[in-house]
Structure 1
């Protein structure tokens, strides 16, 4: 019984780590998708997205998942704001 509980707890602790890595990869893919539809985005924003994606990929390669998520979230928010006209 104790082993089962420990195994379940270990799985629950590891889940957020995998979820964060997935969020980083998902956000990077979204940024790549926005790059593919570049005709709808202005040039200054497109450059910012490219720079953020490159920095996020570096952070991901270094194992800094939180930095990757932070950079990609900001870039995605900038895209959403530009589409809203803000």
Structure 2
């Protein structure tokens, strides 16, 4: 499972480095889905940490709705990295 997490990080990094803006839209949606799945699975995190994840999810959805895919990707990628650091056994 850790291998798939590492692969996901490399793919994310490759897409972030890509100049193709359409990739930002797809990555934004994929990252939002990954964070939503994480929240729905309700890992045993302190309530404050889970609230931070939910806040980032709402902020990224607002950026996506505004058409600001670059901000959405920045928010979601940062949160996914934090999720993986705090709970490495999930991926």
TM-score calculated relative to the size of structure 2: 0.70
* Equivalent residue for 1:67, pick from 71, 74, 78: 71
Higher helix share: 1
Question: Radius of gyration: which is bigger?
Answer: 1
> Matched residues in 1 for 2:21 and 2:50: separation?
30
Q: Which has the higher contact order (CA 8 A, sep 6+)?
A: 2
Question: Which residue of structure 1 aligns with residue 62 of structure 2?
Answer: 58
* Equivalent residue for 1:25, pick from 29, 35, 42: 29
Equivalent residues, number: 71
Superposed CA RMSD in Å reads 1.8
Where do 5+ consecutive residues of structure 2 fail to align? 1-18
Where do 5+ consecutive residues of structure 1 fail to align? 1-14
> Matched residues in 2 for 1:57 and 1:75: separation?
13
> Matched residues in 1 for 2:55 and 2:45: separation?
15
Residue 67 of structure 2 aligns to a residue in which SS? coil
Deviating above 3 A after TM superposition, structure 1's stretches of 4 or more consecutive aligned residues are none
Task: Provide, for residues 42-81 of structure 1, a one-character-per-residue CA deviation record: whole Å limited to 9, x for no partner.
Answer: 3222111100010011111111111000000111111111
